Amino acid sequence: MVIELAYNPSRAFDRLKEIDALRLAVALLAIRSSVTAAVTVTGMYVHRSPMFHKPPFGIEEQAYRYYELFWYAPYTILTVLTIAFAMFYVGRRFLGAPDLSFRKSFEIVSLSFFVPWLLTVPGDCLLIITVNARPQFLVPFHILILTWECSLIALGFRRIFGLAAARCAVLGMIAASIFIVMTGLVVR
């Protein structure tokens, strides 16, 4: 199902509608958060990659990068859970999807954030090695990946819950906004 999401997402979401994929969703989230911390965040720490903005409270950049090695994975899990809850709450409360469940919202978000992320690991490594992950190269790359991820979220809610395309687009934009605020502004 994971690979199918990359080349035929409509069919993958149709299959997801029929199965319980909670274990898969949890495993994919764990893989994403731990591999990013181990590969990308560690690479940025070792290469002293510049930051998009200075850390808060006068924390020295290299110290911030060091602590980020340990709290990046739990914070990523918190971010995905926050997005899943927002999709559940907004979809159920404001977009007319009474059968929407948090569990299925989490499955959609976790799978949607995993498949495009597969490209970020080698992409981030390449950016770290070639241009030291400078924000002017890293940010557009991650915005492109985030757009793909949130498009998959919108498609997932459309295929599984039958919401109108405009409502699903709203969910995708909410997911992107939460991700940008929690990871783009708060973390880096």
99-117 residue pLDDT tens: 889 999 999 999 999 999 9
pLDDT at 175: 97
Indicate the number of domains in the chain: 1
Give CA separation, 141 vs 76, 117, 138, 172, 186, in Å: 18, 11, 5, 18, 19
Find the domain containing 93 and state its range: 2-187
pLDDT at 51: 87
pLDDT at 58: 85
Rounded CA separation 54/157 (Å): 37
pLDDT at 99: 85
Rounded CA separation 81/107 (Å): 10
pLDDT at 186: 62
Q: Is the pTM of this model over 0.75?
A: yes
pLDDT at 187: 62
pLDDT at 137: 93
Rounded CA separation 163/100 (Å): 10
Q: Which residue ranges in the chain fall short of pLDDT 50?
A: none
pLDDT at 98: 80
Strands (E), 40-155: none
The helix or strand, by DSSP H or E, that contains position 119, with its residue range, turns out to be helix 117-131
